[in-house]
Amino acid sequence: MEMIDLNSKDMIQKRVNVGQVLWKWPLAMVFARLFLAVIAQSLVALLFFSASPSPYQAAAAWWPVYGTLIDLGCFILIIRQIRTEGLRFRDLLGFDQRRLGRDILIGLGFILWVFPLAMIGITAASLLIFANPQPPSVYFPLPIWAAAYSLLIFPAIWGLMEQSTYQGYALPRLKALFSRPGLAIAIVAFGWGLQHIALPLIFDWRYMLYRFLSFLPLAVVMTLVYLRTRRLLPLIIAHWAVDMLGILSGLILPMLMK
């Protein structure tokens, strides 16, 4: 029996037509992760309030650890909304066991363009903002247990929730709600890039602008790829791998070389 894709554009359009999907929640979810990141860093900063003269700065180093709190908050918000549509979380993923092997292979292949594009965005943004191709680090030394968590656990959950939020949930609904697909792509890419100014949040406008611009090209391309393929799992796999490589090179290797 053929499996019905409840998150397909036709099924979403039907729910839009009967008023089951409104614009406010997909739009809110585009920016929810930014606010959740600020809240999570603020909560961690409270732990450093008496131990550090700059507790918010001290908390910034822990973003690959407290990032899971962002994912948890985002997961709760998404579940709340898709239940009103009669969906489960797995429906956002378009999970199909018959295509699992193919999706994994495609995801591994996607790494070949996701990683170079991410590096191009980072390098170009660094050149533009700092006149230096060597970008400032977004990773800071952590205890061994936290570094291990950042490498082994964080990228898998982060890739899953970012792709599910921006691509699985927000993008197809905004595309169905607005008459111009380009507007939905622009909103999602903007919100996705904006999220990065709080990963971590450092109160330096140049650093914040760099973080926003560095991810923007990848955000645009990934939204286009998803709309073309409608397969989320390959993008999740590529996202996980690239984040893990970033943490390996930016956090783990510098710690080992000390």
Q: What is the pLDDT of residues 208-229, one digit of tens each?
A: 999 999 999 999 999 999 999 9
- pLDDT tens-digit map of 116-134: 999 999 999 999 999 999 9
Residue 165 Cα distances to 48, 109, 115, 138, 245, angstroms: 30, 23, 21, 22, 22
Q: How far apart are CA 125 and CA 120, in angstroms?
A: 8
Mean pLDDT of the residues in the chain = 94
Answer whether residue 2 shows pLDDT above 70. no
pLDDT at 96: 79
Task: Please say if the pLDDT value at position 68 is more than 90.
Answer: yes
Q: Report yes or no: 214 and 74 within 8 Å, Cβ to Cβ.
A: no
Lowest mean pLDDT among 15-29, 40-54, 120-134: 40-54
Could you tell me the pTM of the whole model? 0.94
Q: In the predicted model, is pLDDT for residue 51 greater than 80?
A: no
- The token duo for 83 is 């239940």
pLDDT at position 42 is 96
Per DSSP, the residues of the chain read: -PPP-TTSHHHHHHHHHTTSS-SHHHHHHHHHHHHHHHHHHHHHHHHTTTT-SSHHHHHHTTHHHHHHHHHHHHHHHHHHHHGGGT--HHHHHT--GGGHHHHHHHHHHHHHHHHHHHHHHHHHHHHHHHS-SSPPPS-----HHHHHHHHHTHHHHHHHHHHIIIIIIIHHHHHHHSS-HHHHHHHHHHHHHHHTTBTTB-S-HHHHHHHHHHHHHHHHHHHHHHHHH---HHHHHHHHHHHHHHHIIIIIHHHHT-
Q: Which residue has the higher pLDDT, 3 or 79?
A: 79
Query: pLDDT (tens digit, 9 = 90+) per residue, 160-182?
Result: 999 999 999 999 999 999 978 89
Mean pLDDT of 149-159: 97
Cβ pair 70, 160 in contact under 8 A: no
**Cα distance between residue 8 and residue 214, in whole Å:** 30
Q: Residue 257 has what pLDDT?
A: 86
In angstroms, rounded to a whole number, what is the distance separating the alpha carbons of residues 31 and 54? 27
What gap in Å lies between CA 128 and CA 217, rounded to an integer? 14
How much is the pLDDT for 3?
67
> At residue 21, does pLDDT exceed 80?
yes
Q: How far is CA 170 from CA 8, 105, 227, in A?
A: 13, 26, 12
Task: Name the pLDDT band for 99 (thresholds 50, 70, 90).
Answer: confident
The pLDDT assigned to 107 comes to 95
193-199: average pLDDT: 97
pLDDT above 70 for 38: yes
